[in-house]
């Protein structure tokens, strides 16, 4: 593990704020990385696994659990932002539009945002709602890392990685490497922590 990763992730992680629609944003204390993706893709589970806590972000089998924007701050270095999921079938198109409005409000007001991790289910693959989200992120010119989740459920995750890579290669804001993760099997978590630690407040100065 890189020294910087250790120094960032050894710190305590705290809930800085849980913002409801229309609520006030917390002060920008650190660099921020936001986690976006379809409902149930595993955003909250991944945040918990990254910080080594199983109780920080609320997870559920019921899609659409996270309807708020939660800010999890690691010391003075990095804040992981849990965005509400989109694409929950029963919620329909109106919910997708409201997701876009809410996240656009977040993106427009957060200068501390360094990157979005767009989570894609490593078993289900890309859905049309993921492409809509990618288009929104491209329009906002937000640097985006695609992270496959739940790869323990896929017998050939490398094939999924290639197909998602091919389908998203045209987006200039999407970083070329697609990470594969599983919180169940502890796959890719160390790699993702290294990736995130490089974005931490002060990391650029320390290079």
Ligand X SMILES: Nc1nc2c(ncn2[C@@H]2O[C@H](COP(=O)(O)OP(=O)(O)OP(=O)(O)O)[C@@H](O)[C@H]2O)c(=O)[nH]1
Q: Is 66 in the site for Mg ion (CB under 5 A)?
A: yes
Shortest Cβ 134–ligand X spacing (Å): 17
> Which of 6, 76, 153, 204 lies at the binding interface for ligand X (CB under 6 A)?
153
Q: Which one of 5-13, 16-24, 132-140, 148-156 is the stretch in contact with ligand X (CB under 6 A)?
A: 148-156
Rule CB under 6 A: is residue 162 a binding residue for ligand X?
no
Q: 179: buried, middle or exposed (CB in 10 Å: 19+, 13-18, 0-12)?
A: buried
CA proximity to 148, closest of 204, 191, 106: 191
- Residue from 162, 158, 154 nearest 185 by CA: 154
Q: Kindly indicate which of the ranges 54-62, 95-103, 107-115, 171-179 contains the residues binding ligand X, using the contact rule CB under 6 A.
A: 54-62
Pairing of strands 69-74, 78-82: antiparallel
C-alpha span between 63 and 174 (Å, rounded): 26
* Binding residue for ligand X, selected from 34, 74, 160, 183, defined by CB under 6 A: 183
Per partner kind, with CB cut-offs from 5 to 8 A, the member of Mg ion, ligand X, none near residue 149 is ligand X
Q: Which of residues 86-145 bind ligand X (CB under 6 A)?
A: none
Q: Quote the CA–CA distance of 134 and 33 in Å, as a whole number.
A: 16
Q: Helix or strand or coil: residue 175? A: coil
The span from the CA of 107 to the CA of 34, in Å, is: 9
| Residue, CB closest to ligand X | 85
| Token output for 115 | 């990157």
Q: Which of the ranges 16-24, 25-33, 167-175, 180-188 carries the binding residues for ligand X, by CB under 6 A?
A: 180-188
Q: Are 49 and 183 in contact (CB under 8 A)?
A: yes
123 vs 41: CA distance, rounded Å: 10
Of 59 and 79, which CB lies nearer to ligand X in the complex structure? 59
- Stretch in the footprint of ligand X (CB under 6 A) among 95-103, 133-141, 147-155, 162-170: 147-155
Interface with ligand X, residue 64, by CB under 6 A:
yes
Residues that bind ligand X (CB under 6 A): 37, 39-45, 59-61, 63-66, 85, 149-150, 152-153, 182-184
Residues that bind Mg ion (CB under 5 A): 43-44, 66
């Amino acid at each position: 593990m890189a020294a910087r990763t250790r120094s960032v992730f050894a710190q305590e992680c705290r809930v800085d704020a849980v913002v409801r629609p229309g609520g006030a944003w917390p002060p920008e204390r650190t660099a921020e990385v936001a986690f976006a993706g379809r409902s149930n893709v595993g955003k909250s589970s991944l945040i918990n696994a990254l910080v080594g806590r199983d109780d920080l972000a609320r997870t559920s089998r019921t899609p659409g659990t996270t309807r708020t924007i939660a800010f999890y701050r690691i010391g003075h270095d990095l804040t992981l932002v849990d965005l509400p999921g989109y694409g929950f079938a029963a919620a329909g198109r109106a919910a997708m539009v409201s997701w876009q409005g809410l996240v656009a409000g977040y993106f427009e007001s957060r200068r501390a945002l360094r990157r979005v991790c767009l989570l894609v289910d490593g078993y289900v693959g890309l859905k049309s709602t993921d492409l809509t989200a990618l288009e929104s992120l491209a329009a906002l010119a937000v640097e985006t890392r695609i992270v496959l989740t739940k790869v323990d459920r896929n017998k050939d995750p490398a094939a999924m990685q290639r197909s998602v890579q091919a389908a998203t290669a045209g987006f200039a804001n999407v970083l070329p490497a697609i990470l594969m993760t599983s919180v169940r099997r502890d796959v890719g978590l160390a790699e993702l922590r290294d990736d995130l630690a490089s974005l931490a407040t002060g990391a650029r100065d320390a290079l």
